[in-house]
Amino acid sequence: MILSKIKEAIICFKNLRVTFPYPLKRNIEALPVEGFRGKLTIDVSKCIGCAGCANVCPSRLIIVTDKKAVRRLDFYLERCTYCGRCADVCPEKAITMTQEFETATNDVHNDMHISAEVYMGTCQRCGRCFETQTILDKMMTVGFRNNQAE
Ligand code: SF4
Ligand code: SF4
């Protein structure tokens, strides 16, 4: 019994420490590799408010609400599984999976919540949002509709 404990102690003293004093000192080699899916981010200037991301999210954490001409997207990322489906389906590549993996926080409501507001075009009859102003501008310039035509 004592002999085995002495052997164990010798092994421990012979081997160097294998852990790092994280987060004060990091193991550079252990940082995420290319293609790693960390906490997502959204570029609101690219978003067209199609809600495709919300439709495919398996965790149902993306909530879409319309208020007059504003479509609001709320991401409650504490439930995110980092599957990347939202980024894959986004037609405008507005969602990016970053390399951020340190998501432990005491303030989950602020640190793990992203909200984005997109200004939409609304239906003249029912008032519902149907397209973003950005897309309407694009349609004007490529000739789908020209309000200025004589
Ligand atoms: S990465 Fe997956 S779980 Fe997270 S918001 Fe996107 S679709 Fe939802
Ligand atoms: S982030 Fe992409 S998929 Fe989601 S509403 Fe905006 S454009 Fe659509």
Q: Tell me, what's the pLDDT at 111?
A: 93
Query: At which residue do the structure tokens 């293609």 appear?
Result: 35
At 24 the three-state DSSP class reads: coil
Query: At which residue do the structure tokens 């389906």 appear?
Result: 89
Choose which residue among 61, 64, 88 to substitute to test ligand 1 binding: the one with the highest number of ligand atoms within 8 A of its C-beta.
61
Q: Tell me, what's the pLDDT at 139?
A: 61
Backbone angles phi, psi at 85, to 5 degrees: -65, -35
Q: Is 56 exposed, middle or buried (0-12, 13-18, 19+ CB in 10 A)?
A: middle
Choose which residue among 37, 56, 77, 81 to substitute to test ligand 1 binding: the one with the highest number of ligand atoms within 8 A of its C-beta.
81
- In this model, does residue 145 exceed pLDDT 70? no
Cα(134)–Cα(142) distance, integer angstroms: 13
59 lines ligand 1 (CB under 6 A): yes
Q: Tell me, what's the pLDDT at 83?
A: 97
pTM: 0.75
Residue-wise pLDDT tens digits, 13-50: 888 777 778 778 777 777 888 889 999 999 998 998 99
Residue-wise pLDDT tens digits, 59-77: 999 999 998 888 999 999 9
53 lines ligand 2 (CB under 6 A): yes
